[in-house]
Amino acid sequence: MTPSVRLQEMIRVIRSARTQGEERGIIQRECADIRAQFRQGDNGERSHSLAKLLYVHMLGYPAHFGQMECVRLIASPRYNEKRMGYLGAMMLLDEKQDASLLITNSIKNDLSHSSQYVQSLALCTLACMGSAEMCRDLASEIERLLRASNSYIKKKATLCAVHIIRKVPELAELFIPSARSLLSEKNHGVLHGAVVLITELCERNPDTLDQFRKAVPELVQIMKGLVTSSYSPEHNVAGISDPFLQVRILRLLRILGHNNDTASDAMNDLLAQVATNTDSSKTAGSAVLYETVLTIMDINSESGLRVLAVNILGRFLLNNDRNIRYISMTSLQKIVQTDHNAVQRHRGTIVDCLKDQDTSVKRRALELSLALVSAVNIRSMMKELLIFLSTCPLELRSQTASGIFNAAERYSPSKRWHIDTILHVLTTAGGDVRDETVPNLIQLISTASELHCYTVHKLYRALVKDISQQSLVQVACWCIGEYGDLLLKGECEEIEPVQVSEDDVLEALETVLQSHMSSPATRGFALTATMKLSTRITDNVDRIRSIVSIYGSCIDLELQQRAVEYNALFKKYDHMRAAVLERMPVIDKNSPGHTNGDTSGEIKEPDTSKPKPVEAGLLSEPVSQVCDLLDLLGGTDTPLQPNPAPTSTSTATSSADLLDLLGGLEPTPVPSVTVYEKNGLSLKMQCDKQTETDITVTLIASNSTQSDITNFTLQAAVPKSVQLQMKAPSGNVIPAHGLGQVTQTILLNNPNKVSLKMRVRVSYSNQGAVHQDTVQIDSFPSPAWNGQPSISPL
């Protein structure tokens, strides 16, 4: 039997193995055989043994013992052994193996071999697995071959040079001169390689790019030749003359013409010609057309050409071939920002593609549709997107949901529409939305005060129908808790009223509390909602009381804590219950961005880096005064005089906890508290908790006296571990009669979560007299800095 048959015999035997175990046994035997062969040395069988080993390797079995054999075979004088050795090298050796360096010398010798086929083996292997060291060693050889050899070798050497440049970019300059001259070759293979090489050179170095811009006319000439040439059977594919070369030239032209008017002008005619004359009924033509469109869009082409390109893409969109539709949507995605109107024209077709069977096409259509949503078409687009959401494959759902939310937020025509849309999404795909959706929706609902009645009715109905979508249930519970009285009143203009009794509502909330499907967070929402209803309904307060007390022994710590606190509210603080459970004020979206103060932790003068009139008086203030404030911080406090706003802190700790829950919807700023009021000057404080340890305090000073307050300055001190940074105040003159205000922002960083205090000194002049006063602020209305676990809202 001839050796190659033995290889095939082995393959046949392996394939006939019926179980994995049997196969493993056969493989083991064969490998032992191969190893023995290798050890025997040169006997003419080595290449076949290596071939067998490579087959075994392809099946997934280890074959590293063949690496040295590859090296030996490559060094052999016989062609068939060299060929197999090089194949083995490409399959078994890679940069990470040490043995790969050993073949460098063989490759070097083979590059100057008399037979071009041996040379080609060496070139191919170097281009496939050459490591950086090998490339450095052999670069000059390759460069020599680029210049002086036949076209068979030249084309391979060119691509080898491309590989070298990718591995060792510093060697790029070596190949620049030869690359330029290669463009005048006639052989398509060499020409193709040359274009690839020039593309690689230009992509890496902008100077080289400038150099090669001069080649644009030559490239245009070559391209014209290809497009207008008569039928050449050698390179023809479906009527297109050498599409591979055409596409590569177009790609190079794209790079050369990008951001350069002269080069772009030189190409305009050619691109127009290619765009109009290429027959796109087969894939080859479409490939060329596709590349042309990409090139037109990327260079500084004239507008007529751009319109032509977009129309071609539009035509592609209507093509029956799915691939072409996919391609056109990918390209439209790239240009939707710059040529928005042109793409809008094809919106109808794109939206139809949402209904395509294929997932890839659907995904592209979704991305493109979301990019095309605008204020004008929001209603119709949203209808389509919502239909899509209910039928789309699972992997696209969350992307669709977030896309819909973004679009709704930017372009919603009315609040009611916005709320309806979000509700629709939650009912259809509530499980796939992001976590911020719940607080965002709650914030949205609370701002739309005229729609409270409508919203709560809708949510109640949705809740009754289905309690499996957690986000929906959470929002519904919150709304019922807040606006339960509107629900029970039963009248609403925008939706047909349904008589809802208190029992029904409590029933619904209880179902949520008891259901297995509810997550702990949802249960928390439901419990708090039940509690809030105790002030909004009249008859069933006892029922609420009993629900709350049951959960006082719940296993879930969070629920237990809440229930116990609510119980306490019923028992000991019943007089405060109404005030505590009042309706929440409108929530503002918090302002993003926050910088930490620097690390000195000492008292800071107002930020003097900004140009503003700094009071000479303040600057000359001795440091001792500053230290006064610091010293005083540890000692007794001046009494704080806050104005009790509905949700401000009060002394009862349990209700403070409650307020954490009720007022602490992250991120929610607490409304301003007046911290100082004297002689007509009042200072209000507003706190914004940005993160767990950072807080932004805004001090607002206003003046109700008859004359302006001038030279108004604030100084602040905080405990040692807290970092403070004061921003520049908005001014230092407060107009009289409350006509204006001065605001100053202070950024605090409390990494150790100590209990926060701040002492503020105000100084100002009024009616000729200089005043100075100090205010101590003991308790900040922000929660969660006393070691309490941060509780999820409501």
- Using CB under 8 A, list all residues that contact another protein: 2, 4-5, 8, 11-12, 15, 51, 54-55, 58-60, 79-80, 83-84, 87, 90, 94-96, 115, 117, 120, 123-124, 127-129, 131, 152, 155-156, 159-160, 162-163, 188-189, 192-193, 196, 234-235, 237, 242-245, 247, 251, 283-284, 286-287, 290-291, 322-327, 357-361, 363
Residue written as tokens 């389509």? 384
The least distance separating another protein from the CB of residue 35, rounded to whole angstroms, comes to 20
Nearer to another protein, 131 or 668 (CB): 131
Q: Which of 111, 116, 176 is nearest to 150 (CA)?
A: 116
- How many Cβ atoms sit within 10 Å of the Cβ of residue 651? 7
DSSP strand pairing (709-717 vs 694-703) = unpaired
Q: Whose Cβ is closer to another protein: residue 2's or residue 651's?
A: 2
Shortest distance, CB of residue 55 to another protein, whole angstroms? Answer: 6
- Contact assessment for residue 772 and residue 761, using Cβ atoms and an 8 Å cutoff: yes
**Which among 285, 365, 283 has a CA at the least distance from the CA of 332?**
365
| 287 vs 492, beta carbon nearer another protein | 287
| Nearest residue (CB) to another protein, 146 versus 580 | 146
**Least Å from the CB of residue 593 to another protein:** 31
Nearer to another protein, 192 or 761 (CB): 192
In the complex with another protein, the residue whose CB is nearer, 192 or 346, is: 192
Taking the complex as a whole, the smallest distance from the CB of residue 15 to another protein amounts, in Å, to 8
Given the complex with another protein, which of 289 and 777 has the nearer CB atom? 289
Q: How far is the CA of 90 from the CAs of 35, 63, 191, in angstroms?
A: 20, 13, 26
Measured between alpha carbons, how far is residue 578 from residues 63, 235, 532, 573 in Å? 79, 87, 9, 10
Q: Least distance from C-beta 202 to another protein, angstroms?
A: 12
Nearer to another protein, 220 or 240 (CB): 240
Helices (H) and strands (E) in the chain, counts: 35, 10
Q: How far is residue 184 from each of residues 122, 165, 190, 228, 253, measured CA to CA in Å?
A: 26, 22, 10, 18, 17
Dihedrals phi, psi of 395, to nearest 5 degrees: -70, -15
**Cβ 19 to another protein, closest distance in Å?**
15
- The answer to whether 263 touches 257, Cβ cutoff 8 Å, is yes
CB of 142 vs another protein, minimal distance in Å: 12
User: CB-wise, 131 or 696, nearer to another protein?
Assistant: 131
Quote the least distance from Cβ 445 to another protein, whole Å.
37
Q: Distance between CA atoms of 272 and 494, rounded to whole angstroms? A: 57
φ and ψ at 259, to 5 degrees?
60, 25
Give the residue with the Cβ less far from another protein, 189 or 481. Answer: 189
**CB closer to another protein out of 193 and 524:** 193
Q: What is the identity of the amino acid at 505? A: V
Q: Measured from the CB of residue 217, what is the shortest distance to another protein in angstroms?
A: 23
Distance, CA of 398 to CA of 400 (rounded, Å): 5
Q: Cβ 425 to another protein, closest distance in Å?
A: 25
Least distance in angstroms from the C-beta of 343 to another protein: 20
| Full DSSP string of 279-300 | --SSHHHHHHHHHHHHHHHHTT
Q: Which lies closer to another protein via its Cβ, residue 123 or residue 580? A: 123
* Count of positions (residues) in the chain: 794
In this structure, the number of other CB atoms found within 10 A of the CB of residue 610 comes to 10
Give min distance, CB of 265 to another protein, in A.
Answer: 24
Residue closer to another protein, measured from CB, 4 or 519: 4
Backbone dihedral angles phi then psi of residue 19, each to the nearest 5 degrees: -125, 165
Query: What minimum distance in Å lies between the beta carbon of 294 and another protein?
Result: 8
What single-letter amino acid sits at 3? P
Q: Which residues contact 440 (CB under 8 A, 6 or more apart)?
A: 405
Min CB(115)–another protein separation in Å: 7
Q: Are 129 and 89 in contact (CB under 8 A)?
A: yes
Contacts of 417 (CB under 8 A, 6+ apart): 379
Residue 549: exposure state from Cβ atoms within 10 A (0-12, 13-18, ≥19): middle
Helix (H) or strand (E) holding 715: strand 709-717
**Tokens (6 digits) for 358:** 């294929």
Question: Which CB atom, from 157 or from 587, has the smaller least distance to another protein?
Answer: 157
Q: What percentage of the chain's residues is helix, strand, coil (to nearest 5)?
A: 60, 10, 30
Three-state DSSP at 258 gives coil
Residue owning tokens 């008399």? 114
**Contact indicator for 647, 670 with CB cutoff of 8 Å:** yes
